[in-house]
Structure 1
Amino acid sequence: MNTQVHNPVTTWDPMAPLDPGVMLLEASAGTGKTYNLVNWVLRLIVQYHIPIEQQVVVTFTRAATAELKDRIRSRLQQAMTALGNPSSIDPSDIVMERLVAAAQTSREHQEDVVQRIAAAQESFDACLISTIHGFCQRMLQHYAFEAQTDFDLTLMGDEPELAERLVDDWLSSELYGVDASRYEFLVNQCGFTRDTLLAIATVALREPDMTVVPTDPLLAEGSPAWHRVRFVKWLRSEYDEVHRKRRTQSYIDLMRNLVRVLDKKKSDPSRCSLLQAVQHRYKVALIDEFQDTDAMQWKIFRTLFSGEDQRLYLIGDPKQAIYGFRGANVHVYLKAKKEARGRVSTIVTNHRSDQRFVEAINHLMNRRGLFGQEGIEYQAVQAAIRPQSPVDRLIPPDDWFSASNAPFQLRFLDRRLEGVAEATDADRRMPADLLYKNVPKRVAEDIVLLLESGTRIFVERQALTGEDKTRCVEPSDIAVLTRTGKEANAIQQALGTAGVPAVLMGADSVFASVEAFELLLWLEALDKAGHERAARAAATTHLFGRNAGLLAGIEAERPEALEAWEAWMERLHRWRKRFENHGLLSTLRYALQDDLVAVDGEILQDATARLLMRPDGQRRLTNVWHVAELMHGVEVTERRSLTGLIDWLKRERMNPSKETDAAELRLDRDDKAVRISTMHKAKGLQFPIVFVPYLWTGRLPKDTEPAVIVPETGDHAKRVCDLRDAADRQDSYELAVMESRKEAIRLLYVALTRARHRCVVYLGHINHLENSALAPVFHGHHAEGASIERGVERAARENHSVLWKDLQKLASKSGSALEGNAPTISLTFCTPPEARIWKGQPGESGDLTARDFLRHGLDGSFRRLSYSALTYGKSVTYVDTDKDREGVDADEQTDDGDEAMVERQEQENSEATDDQENDRSVSDPSSRWVPTIEVSEDSPNVPLAVMWGGADVGTFFHEVFEKADFRWAHPSQGADGGRTRLWELVRALLGVHGFDTQELTEPITAGLMDVLQTPLRSVLGDTRLCDIAKEDRLDELSFDFPMAGGDRFRRGGPTKRVLSEAFVSALSLRLHEDNPPLDDDAPIRPAYLRGLGPFSKMVGYMTGSIDMVFRYPTEQGVRWFIVDYKSNRLDPQRQKRWPIEHFGPEGMRYEMEQHHYYIQYHLYMLALHRYLRFRLGEAYAYERDVGGVYYLFFRGMLGPATPVGRDTSHGCFFDKPPFRVIDALDRLFHDPCTFDGGQS
């Protein structure tokens, strides 16, 4: 029997003196905690002349901090308004009324008050309104000198990956190489598994100064407990060492570093300096939500604000202390309550809920000992008087005596939920799995019945007529509170099935969502472009919507399936290129718009539209962009690549339960929808009507848990971590269970008190009811009050009828003096749900929405195209004769509308795909023609082969060529002058691109000097790159030219697209040239040209970027040349060798054909032709002014000693397309309708 006596309660006076010292204000749910804290700030400014910049306001979340700033700023403005116009004061606002009245005692006094408030508004940003971590960081930064602490440490957030890494390191060192018996001992007896050690690590690092037991120095070395304690000591030490080396600190470290200074001797200079500085700067600290604090935080505030003229005001509610799993310790609150020395007051007026609902909660909870903790008692409250509203603001359609109209409703779960007519004592208890299946449906139907009942909510009282304006209950008036995110999802699904819109409110981490997993698959497909398995996994996600039918069609080689799959693979390549240039967010947005797929056989819809067609489409789309936004932040701040983002997302998904505000699920809709939240997330919120369906679930500690956290004997404000074996710590386990039961009761209190008008709770004859808070709250009543033990025993032992009668007795004695003594608590049993569907409010029209306009047949072939997009996926086909060509499938590719605009940087392959040794557009090495190149076995690799292949390497080399002055390598520069400048440039750019400057700078500089001094041969003879002046170069010359009229193209108009056959025909005119003839020794082999095609239709703009255009005087005059740098390491036979012989004419020609560089330089030459024709006008002649094109495979350019073959230096491919070919391409792209195949 609980015999504790209530301590006398002092009712809070909002105008009570605000004297120095510690003061505690207990504010039950709904009593205006924040309102009173804001009034403290105002009164301290007006009455006690304490400027706002000398006040500290601390709360425990960023969201609460933002709300406090808004409330304080608004309150200051209200005060200024009231001083100028006292009639604007709300009659219920006693504080404002008295402050204004006092200010008006004299004109001088009022002006003084106005000046103080105006000064507070002007210096508002100087007021420290912060979280506890923000406060500690500010103290350590501003007073680093006084505290003698580092001020340049980087603050890191939660780092579960660091704990994971340390655990992995420990396991590796402890388990590697041990014999079987030792392994069995460490794993099975000591608990050295990853999951077990991570659980211990989470606790040990969250409270790094918490005592770990056993601490007995005589503890047998080598025992399981000794090994676990050894792990914790090592873990904490290594964790600190990692932060020390990285010069970082965690949020916990912020407080620890501050406490270390405050724990020094009172005479210590650093401690004295810090206290003096802080107490001179700040006079008041106002701590909000104080019940959620811990011992370290209390020590900081109690010490810093311990001066004689300091004020430390605490406000909280111990009945709402529900964050023990985060380290909050309600015993710290109780310790501070004792230190307040009688300066403890309680607010007894509830401003949130209706009077009858307040009476119901009073009737249920106003019992001594209910919370099982000395110092925590329920204080009966009264509802605030609202002259301008009815007592009950939820108005039923019939009389108040109906059970469905009680403000507090109990819904009993027993066999009747399964359809049994009557429940008996012989009935089994309801199993949890059955309830998890049926309760969501029952709750959904109860909500539908409420929405259809005609119940209305008070809106306002008309000033002129005195009539009350009301409206029907809407889904947005209702909240469902659950324990877990899984339960919340089940409720949302049931409501969706019942036709009731519902939205989740931060019930879980977005990283635990399906969408996070699907984005991971998509990123992996981009990272492994061309990898079939990764591409299939991404394609079959909900996000991109392909199905098994497509995969089956691919296996069956159905043409339409193969065509669709080719389009998908092209998209992945396109998106990968965009990612490299534009990053994640731009690529994702582009991909969702670009992925057009026919729906219902005809309507093309993008991925976003397809996703929104699903019943949960809004939820899914919200999650997609939420995850994308978080990844974008990491991409920007940590400069992560695609692979780095994949690794980061994998780690986040492995630990979705970590406490991160940014990862909480966001609202997926803002319209009239039921709000679904966990009870923890709902703390601080309020809703008109609340359903709480899962209070019957219990979450008690298990005796097998690796770490048991309990209050320290003798000082409950401290906690200990008990790592003893389960058989040795039964006392700690029982204490931990009791602490868990107490917190569950407090969580129940939080859930019930969220309601303004009505709360519906589900309880009953349920398995393991004794493990839930329902047992002590509803079945633990006795003559002297309430008892947790009695409730637990009764719920476990008693049968159905006893449990029902407990509740029946509670409801029958709940009559209110209002509404004819109608009961405030009702009890009804749950019947099977009938799958009722809500069809909206009768007689009320819905909100008007815009009509959806769908365009049919958008021309997807209009796009920005380049060589890379044109040739991607086109393997090389060799046809030896024109007759053989008749067997080649030249059918043009159909318009699938799948390719969107491709911008020049992502399409131009000069910095990426050209430089990849295994470019995905390259055909298989088993192609019919591979050159035979004789290479001696001792022939070395070319010097620049020291640099590997890849896009990043190609980008580096291109930037060197772009920024270097080639004349640095000219012999006229002297033996070392120009080389030094090139060396400095190479070294700088290697560092920029993340390469090893020490190992690579010298060999690359030497190799590039040789490249610049290599004779180009062909038409330029001994001319070298070092002979070209900087002013004669145009680097990275970007171009865009229209195809088929560009913007003037209209589908169905006079201008037609560029067809595949016409494009191939123009390129193939080279076959008919006689001067010079095209034979097997020519730069391009006839067999390659005969095998070209097919390509897609082209309309829009051709885009690209030419590495360099230069002019050079020849015997015939100044001529213009194109240069394209190729970092490819030539290896036609895939031998992983790169000797100089591979860079001869045959090796270069093979590479040119395999990558379709022939098409690339013809497009470049067309761009140069148009450019020169525009700039030079009539003075321009192609044959005279254009010199040709050099493709420089520069790794094979070895300087003056470079071998020569067919009048061409190795590594220097040269060609000049005939004017007939360039002119045909010019006419074709200008107007395909008039193109005659190049015969004119």
Structure 2
Amino acid sequence: MNASLSAHPVFDAGILEGLHLLEADAGTGKTWTIAGLVVRALIERELGIEQLLVVTFTNAATAELGARIRQRIAQLERLLDDRIEARATAVDEPFCVAFAAGLDDTAALRARSALRIALARVDEMAVHTIHGFCQRVVDEHALSIGVPSGLPVSADSAAPELDRLADWWRAQAREASPARLLAFGLAGLTPDALHAAVKALAANPLARVEPAAGDWRAVEGELTALRDELAAALGREGDALLDWIGVKGNADGNRFRVAWVTKWLDALRRFCADPHPAELPDAIGKLAAPRFGDRPPPSTIPAICERLSTLAASIARLPAWIAQEIAAVAAAERRDDLARAQSLGFDDLLRLVHDALADREGGVALATALRERHPLALIDECQDTDPLQWAIFRRIYVDDAPSGSGQAPPALVLVGDPKQAIYAFRGADVYSYLDARDAVRRIHRLGENQRASRALVAAINAIFRRERPFLVDEIGFSEAGVGARPRRPLEAGDGASRAALTVVRLQADPESGWLGASAARRQAVDACVAEIGRLLGSGARLGDSALRPADIAVLVNAHWQGTEIKRALAAAGIGAAEVSRDSVLATLECSELMRIVAAIADPTDPGLLRAALATTLLGEDARSLRALDSDAGGALVTASRFARAREDWRRHGPIAALRRLIRDEDVGARLAATRDGDRRLTNLLHLVELLGDDEEARRGPQQALHAWVRRRLAGEADERETEELRLESDEDLVRILTVHKSKGLEFPVVFLPYAWSSKSPRLAIPQTWHERAPEGHWRAVLDFAPTQETTRQCASESHAEALRAMYVALTRAEQRCYLFWGVAAGAQYSPLAWLLAGVDPSVQKDWRPGFKAPQPLDVQAVDRGLDACRERANASDPASVVVVDAPALAAGLGPTQAGEGAAGDERHALADVRPEALTARPWRATIAAPLVTTSFSAIVSALHADDGGARAQDAVERPDHDQFPAPLDEAPAAGEASIRFRFPSG
């Protein structure tokens, strides 16, 4: 075994016993290592493949991981079999070769036998998502958990808290008193605000809530009493207070002018008279008792105002208090309902297993049973876990997990990278990972990058080589090494004019010293598109092959940015396809399809019919819709089309009905004529397929509407892999995808045209931040009453996640990465502002409402940061970093080089690389014939190509019968495909 592999964690002597953490930097072979550990466990610990538990966090990752483990088992079995049988072997996989070399002949025989058994039982391998694992636990231990066995899991099951919220709000609408409505109005309590609060509580069941639960009904009574008391005091003492102010003039240094007090008293009277005031007037604070100091007026009005001011703080807590009450009631009701439930939701699975393990009576027994079932567990992507998920595995493998007598202790291997924790919007919590790291016995590191070139590794090391690169003390950065895996070199024919990391600098306006957001986008998009065109048109090679469009990825932060890039590429004649984590339920096609489904559900409703016909899918204009009002026959025909679709739906299901409607209404051709036709048609067919997979939707169109409205209201669309936008084409196209979607992927060339673009985080209420609990572990806080300091903490955590997303983006590239950066509006909030200019926006900004945001970055500061980064990187590898101005890149020019010293900083461009003259590519596509009514003989005639298609056209124009059969001597050659395989698709 060579030295580098012998020191690799996959061959660590003790990693298969006890608690271990494997921190895997980007591109360091995490999946390769997991597969090797599984093989070692099968042989060295003599575990059956069904005794191993491997957990990851998406269905796609589960499938890939399972396939890689099967492949590794098969490779090693074949290698050992060849060795035992004295045959030459073609297996050269590094782990297998190194592992087999450490086995003597007897051990090799035992290992081959164990691997063959594992291959025979490979379908019993437990590779699950966390929800898949919990579902199996619930099924196998249903009796002890207290639910019926074999319950199906429904993706449409809304959180019980949200169901309870709807019931609660309806009750308030019927029964709420005027005083309660007043309190709700003053608290800003709307259905949307309460929905957000309850949803946050449902998603964070172990979080501390600030403020803690309180009696919101008491606030209602106190508010009513104080308002009545204030109204009486104003009528009784208002004029006297005004007279006193006129005589005294001031109190405790505060000047009270009669005009001001008159206005304040009028505001208080309006507040008391208004049955539905929207807010407490500022006059309450102006006339509160503390404002008068030790010279109070002879009036009760200031004391009442002071009590109202104090009550205002309680009123602000109403959303938190009510949301906690709803969540608590919903949780109790859900526990009772589960005993007779017909299905379970994904959240139910996690909570059931967590609560069962936490139970004082049965929890220890359940944990012991699961530990004995799976003596070894490997948890992949652990940085994407959350407190509830980590609590489950901690209870099984960490808390009270003694080793059995005479047996190896159970093992838990956590695999993750906190630098790649970027899914907080889905509930992932990197602080749970930090808790898990504190619990393990040993920490191993995968630090050799097997993906990126040596020069690119040096560049990325240079960018993150600074103090607190991720703004979290517990998440550091260790420089990556370069792994031994062969790379395909990129030969782009541009010599020194580009580097592994090509920083594209946006050129600021010389007068203002910075760049507006729209101008910066234009510069970035133009330069990005021009460089992609140059790479594809210059004969660039990747290893032994030409650089293909699919070798290039453009990573964006938001879907609209991907659309902008795609349209710019299309205008330049470059094909591209979008890959997005956005939900297809949030598209225009979804809302329009639902209007069509509504018309199918009730084709007798003219309003629904007009709404459906007016969609861009069906394409009727205002004139044709107006004509239906006066054309009873046309309206009847139109209604019959939807009625037929409804009948098709009931007989054959939604897919058959909607596909027929799409065909009959020529929707495909209509969408193809639009700018994003491929994207829109893909979305439409995706939605049709989702309807076909929905059990409730298959019952009828009305049920489909109900099911999809519930999906949208539950807010779960962004959490389902099946609803993510699909790739609209399998062709060899430039890939456009969000940074979040790119995680786990790699591309030879990566563009980051929006790396400079960011904005201040939107910190919705409740804000979420983290603290150390008294027990020492990290704990999330849901803050409904944030202070400036906690708001800054929340903003800092948001910015830290953006820094981790930047790390993910930079580490997707194998050979070259184009990083766009410069002094532009919003750049001060970019992760690069911290990495290259040392600007932390969460510190720079005063978080008081209305405070002005920090000014744009300074040009000199940006240039200094770029120069320092370039010097650090090029000291390790001279081909690491180069800086080129965006306009120069768009024009095909080379980079600018910085001279020494600020005063003599002369920058020059390399020779102009003039673009080649554009020439049209040869036409190779086939234009499909229009849909016609024809005959079998016409199709036969169309097979003859020697007449230039005249025979086929002639057959189409003749009557539909066999007057002119094709002569036998003109029949197709025997070697041609059978006629039935030559039919047009569809």
State the alpha-carbon separation in 2 of the partners of residues 568 and 411 from structure 1.
Answer: 56
State the alpha-carbon separation in 2 of the partners of residues 550 and 576 from structure 1.
Answer: 23
Report the alpha carbon displacement of residue 196 of structure 1 after superposing the two structures with TM.
1.4
Q: Which moved more, 1:764-773 or 1:42-51?
A: 764-773
Matching residue within 284, 307, 330 for 1:239: 330
State the alpha-carbon separation in 2 of the partners of residues 679 and 195 from structure 1.
Answer: 29
Aligned partners of 1:770 and 1:792 also within 8 Å: no
State the alpha-carbon separation in 2 of the partners of residues 150 and 1052 from structure 1.
Answer: 63
Aligned partners of 2:523 and 2:887 also within 8 Å: no
- Do residues 284 (structure 1) and 359 (structure 2) align? no
State the alpha-carbon separation in 2 of the partners of residues 589 and 158 from structure 1.
Answer: 24
Matching residue within 724, 747, 755 for 2:805: 747
Aligned partners of 1:407 and 1:758 also within 8 Å: yes
SS of corresponding position for 2:457? helix
Cα offsets for 1:691-736 (capped at 9, x unmatched): 222233446544663343433444674434444434xx33322221
Matching residue within 480, 483, 499 for 1:384: 483
State the alpha-carbon separation in 2 of the partners of residues 553 and 638 from structure 1.
Answer: 33
- Do residues 135 (structure 1) and 133 (structure 2) align? yes
Change (3 A) 1:477 1:193: same
Report the alpha carbon displacement of residue 449 of structure 1 after superposing the two structures with TM.
3.2
- Do residues 98 (structure 1) and 172 (structure 2) align? no
Aligned partners of 1:89 and 1:97 also within 8 Å: no
The code of the aligned residue for 1:395 comes to E
Q: Partner residue of 2:426?
A: 326
Matching residue within 528, 553, 577 for 1:479: 553
Aligned residues: 800
Q: Partner residue of 1:397?
A: 493
Residues 357-756 of structure 1 aligned to structure 2 (within 5 Å)? 357-386=456-485, 393-399=489-495, 401-402=496-497, 405-415=498-508, 423-424=509-510, 426-427=511-512, 429-435=514-520, 439-458=524-543, 469-471=544-546, 473-548=547-622, 550-551=624-625, 568-595=638-665, 606-634=666-694, 636=695, 640-653=699-712, 655=715, 657-698=717-758, 700-702=760-762, 705-714=765-774, 717-726=777-786, 729-756=787-814
The code of the aligned residue for 1:705 comes to I
Q: Partner residue of 1:1183?
A: none
Cα offsets for 1:119-148 (capped at 9, x unmatched): 111111222110111112212321334556
TM-score by length of 2: 0.74
SS of corresponding position for 2:469? coil
Q: Partner residue of 2:881?
A: 824
Matching residue within 340, 343, 361 for 2:440: 340
Report the alpha carbon displacement of residue 232 of structure 1 after superposing the two structures with TM.
2.2
Q: Which moved more, 1:704-713 or 1:131-140?
A: 704-713
State the alpha-carbon separation in 2 of the partners of residues 552 and 789 from structure 1.
Answer: 56
Higher RCO (CA 8 Å, separation ≥ 6 residues)? 2
Change (3 A) 1:845 1:769: closer
- Do residues 773 (structure 1) and 831 (structure 2) align? yes
Matching residue within 306, 312, 315 for 1:224: 315
State the alpha-carbon separation in 2 of the partners of residues 142 and 312 from structure 1.
Answer: 22
Change (3 A) 1:788 1:704: closer
The code of the aligned residue for 1:318 comes to P
Report the alpha carbon displacement of residue 535 of structure 1 after superposing the two structures with TM.
2.6
Q: Partner residue of 1:15?
A: 11
- Do residues 255 (structure 1) and 339 (structure 2) align? no
Change (3 A) 1:277 1:523: same
Report the alpha carbon displacement of residue 109 of structure 1 after superposing the two structures with TM.
2.9
Change (3 A) 1:667 1:339: same
Change (3 A) 1:792 1:831: farther
The code of the aligned residue for 2:702 comes to T
State the alpha-carbon separation in 2 of the partners of residues 702 and 212 from structure 1.
Answer: 20
Change (3 A) 1:669 1:99: same
Change (3 A) 1:588 1:788: closer
Report the alpha carbon displacement of residue 530 of structure 1 after superposing the two structures with TM.
4.1
- Do residues 210 (structure 1) and 204 (structure 2) align? no
Change (3 A) 1:219 1:536: closer
State the alpha-carbon separation in 1 of the partners of residues 916 and 111 from structure 2.
Answer: 54
Structure 1 unaligned regions, length at least 5? 1-9, 416-422, 459-468, 596-605, 782-786, 860-1049, 1056-1240
Report the alpha carbon displacement of residue 344 of structure 1 after superposing the two structures with TM.
1.0
Aligned partners of 1:711 and 1:718 also within 8 Å: yes
State the alpha-carbon separation in 2 of the partners of residues 243 and 668 from structure 1.
Answer: 43
SS of corresponding position for 2:681? helix
Cα offsets for 1:814-840 (capped at 9, x unmatched): 32665xx3342424234797899x999
State the alpha-carbon separation in 2 of the partners of residues 538 and 301 from structure 1.
Answer: 50
The code of the aligned residue for 2:642 comes to L
Report the alpha carbon displacement of residue 364 of structure 1 after superposing the two structures with TM.
1.1
Report the alpha carbon displacement of residue 89 of structure 1 after superposing the two structures with TM.
5.9
SS of corresponding position for 2:12? coil
State the alpha-carbon separation in 1 of the partners of residues 708 and 440 from structure 2.
Answer: 48
Residues 947-958 of structure 1 aligned to structure 2 (within 5 Å)? none
Report the alpha carbon displacement of residue 844 of structure 1 after superposing the two structures with TM.
12
Task: Please identify which structure carries the higher helix content.
Answer: 2
Cα offsets for 1:663-683 (capped at 9, x unmatched): 101111000112122111211
SS of corresponding position for 1:545? coil
State the alpha-carbon separation in 1 of the partners of residues 757 and 133 from structure 2.
Answer: 38
Cα offsets for 1:155-174 (capped at 9, x unmatched): 33364586554333333333
Q: Partner residue of 2:169?
A: 171
Aligned partners of 1:780 and 1:790 also within 8 Å: no
SS of corresponding position for 1:814? helix
State the alpha-carbon separation in 1 of the partners of residues 467 and 515 from structure 2.
Answer: 31
The code of the aligned residue for 2:325 comes to W
Q: Partner residue of 2:298?
A: none
Change (3 A) 1:814 1:547: same
Residues 954-1033 of structure 1 aligned to structure 2 (within 5 Å)? none
State the alpha-carbon separation in 1 of the partners of residues 60 and 881 from structure 2.
Answer: 35
TM-score by length of 1: 0.60
Aligned partners of 2:824 and 2:857 also within 8 Å: no
Cα offsets for 1:11-47 (capped at 9, x unmatched): 7443111341101111100000011001000011122
Report the alpha carbon displacement of residue 767 of structure 1 after superposing the two structures with TM.
2.5
Residues 1145-1156 of structure 1 aligned to structure 2 (within 5 Å)? none
State the alpha-carbon separation in 2 of the partners of residues 683 and 840 from structure 1.
Answer: 36
Matching residue within 92, 100, 122 for 2:120: 122
Aligned partners of 1:776 and 1:791 also within 8 Å: no
Change (3 A) 1:40 1:19: closer
Aligned partners of 1:161 and 1:651 also within 8 Å: no
State the alpha-carbon separation in 2 of the partners of residues 696 and 170 from structure 1.
Answer: 45
The code of the aligned residue for 2:621 comes to N
Larger Rg belongs to: 1
Q: Partner residue of 1:950?
A: none
SS of corresponding position for 1:536? helix
State the alpha-carbon separation in 1 of the partners of residues 368 and 437 from structure 2.
Answer: 26
Structure 2 unaligned regions, length at least 5? 1-5, 220-313, 404-408, 847-852, 894-913, 936-957, 964-986
State the alpha-carbon separation in 2 of the partners of residues 809 and 773 from structure 1.
Answer: 17
Change (3 A) 1:798 1:540: closer
Q: Partner residue of 2:392?
A: 300
SS of corresponding position for 1:521? helix
Q: Partner residue of 1:1116?
A: none
Aligned partners of 2:795 and 2:842 also within 8 Å: no
State the alpha-carbon separation in 2 of the partners of residues 583 and 216 from structure 1.
Answer: 49
